[in-house]
């Protein structure tokens, strides 16, 4: 950990310095719950068109900073740009989500993919536009999907709650799975270093489907690849690891990956996390997104429990997963007022 803290509260927390008021940002804070986002999407087109339009994506990244004064600005993009850079075609089906082709279920398919890293240039352009426009206290966060989660999409061609195709492939042909994960690791390292060079100050690794794996598979497909990415970025920018659903495997993930901070999903008891995780490790989380929708006294109580449980370690307040589209703006304002205790 660094001895000289950043003047930016969120970045200082990632450096291991506990703040008098927990800094706050929300996963998916630039998105569908904001009327200004919906208006821009109506004008510009679909999600992917927005993400690959540097001017539009910069505007969306800045929207929650202008409205709420969040301590962190999260780059508006998508984890599936890495498969695009590896040569898959990405599109979004209305009402159904992302689609990728060709699906990687045989070695010859993986070997046929043509590197298309130039597709990432508009994202670096977004970062270069946003960085000089952020308030002095605001930390600029980049991100990527972790290799296991990205691989599940590349194999199935779409999202899957059970990740059955990827899990079967990992058992049936571990050499192919390893080759795919290796390709994702290398592209992700290049991508994140590019984000840092363009102006982000910290990054988050989203492993949305980490919870579907057995302990041995978790070690191989979550911990080991993420450790390689963290090692490649050490000294470049702090890294938040977010292995959603990892549960009791969180402590091993924290120790073995070397992440600078650990994101907790809403199923993790923050008091347990404080007791089980390395003493000075910064943590992030972990309000249930549905508690934010509920609002009122239940929201206040949930916020207070998290703040109390994590008061003795560096803590970034966040949700346990992404903010939901039907979240009332007033409840986000209630959350910010409660966490900040009156600070604007």
- Pairing mode, strands 202-207 and 139-145: parallel
CA distance 271 to 311: 10
CA distance 309 to 59: 36
Of the residues 18, 41, 305, 338, only one is catalytic, namely 41
HSE-up of residue 135 (Cα within 13 Å, Cβ side): 17
What number of residues does the chain have? 344
CA distance 86 to 149: 15
Active site residue 78: yes
CA distance 297 to 257: 38
Of the residues 18, 32, 128, 305, only one is catalytic, namely 32
Active site residue 153: yes
The distance from CA 133 to its chain's CA centroid, rounded to whole angstroms, is 22
Active site residue 305: no
Handedness of CA 250, 253, 255, 258 (dihedral sign): negative
Residue for token pair 């409660």: 338
Task: Measure the CA dihedral 287/65/57/78, to 10°.
Answer: -20
Active site residue 313: no
289's tokens? 């997104």
Of the residues 37, 124, 153, 253, only one is catalytic, namely 153
Bridge partner list, 90: 100
Minimal CA–CA distance to 275: which of 256, 250, 257?
A: 250
Of the residues 37, 53, 71, 78, only one is catalytic, namely 78
CA distance 52 to 47: 9
Query: Hey, which residues are catalytic here?
Result: 28, 32, 41, 78, 153
């Amino acid at each position: 950990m660094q001895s000289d803290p950043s003047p930016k509260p969120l970045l200082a927390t990632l450096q291991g310095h506990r703040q008098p008021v927990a800094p706050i940002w929300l996963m998916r804070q630039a998105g569908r719950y904001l009327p200004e986002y919906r208006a821009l999407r109506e004008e510009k087109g679909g999600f992917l068109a927005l993400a690959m339009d540097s001017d539009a994506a910069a505007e969306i990244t800045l929207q929650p900073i202008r409205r709420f004064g969040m301590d962190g600005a999260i780059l508006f993009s998508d984890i599936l740009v890495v498969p695009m850079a590896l040569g898959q075609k990405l599109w979004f089906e209305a009402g159904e989500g992302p689609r990728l082709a060709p699906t990687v279920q045989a070695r010859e398919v993986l070997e046929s993919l043509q590197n298309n890293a130039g597709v990432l240039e508009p994202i670096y352009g977004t970062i270069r536009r946003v960085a000089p426009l952020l308030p002095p206290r605001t930390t600029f966060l980049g991100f990527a999907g972790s290799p296991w989660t990205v691989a599940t999409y590349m194999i199935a061609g779409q999202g899957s709650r059970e990740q059955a195709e990827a899990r079967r492939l990992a058992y049936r042909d571990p050499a192919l799975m390893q080759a795919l994960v290796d390709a994702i690791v290398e592209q992700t390292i290049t991508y994140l270093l590019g984000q840092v060079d363009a102006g982000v100050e910290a990054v988050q690794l989203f492993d949305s489907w980490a919870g579907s794996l057995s302990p041995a598979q978790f070690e191989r497909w979550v911990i080991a690849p993420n450790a390689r990415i963290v090692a490649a970025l050490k000294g470049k920018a702090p890294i938040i690891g977010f292995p959603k659903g990892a549960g009791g495997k969180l402590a091993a993930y924290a120790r073995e990956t070397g992440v600078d901070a650990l994101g907790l999903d809403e199923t993790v008891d923050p008091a347990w996390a404080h007791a089980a995780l390395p003493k000075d490790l910064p943590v992030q989380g972990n309000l249930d997104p549905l508690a934010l929708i509920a609002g009122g006294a239940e929201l206040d109580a949930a916020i207070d429990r998290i703040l109390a449980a994590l008061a003795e370690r560096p803590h970034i307040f966040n949700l346990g997963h992404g903010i939901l589209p039907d979240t009332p703006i007033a409840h986000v304002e209630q959350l910010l007022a409660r966490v900040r205790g009156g600070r604007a």
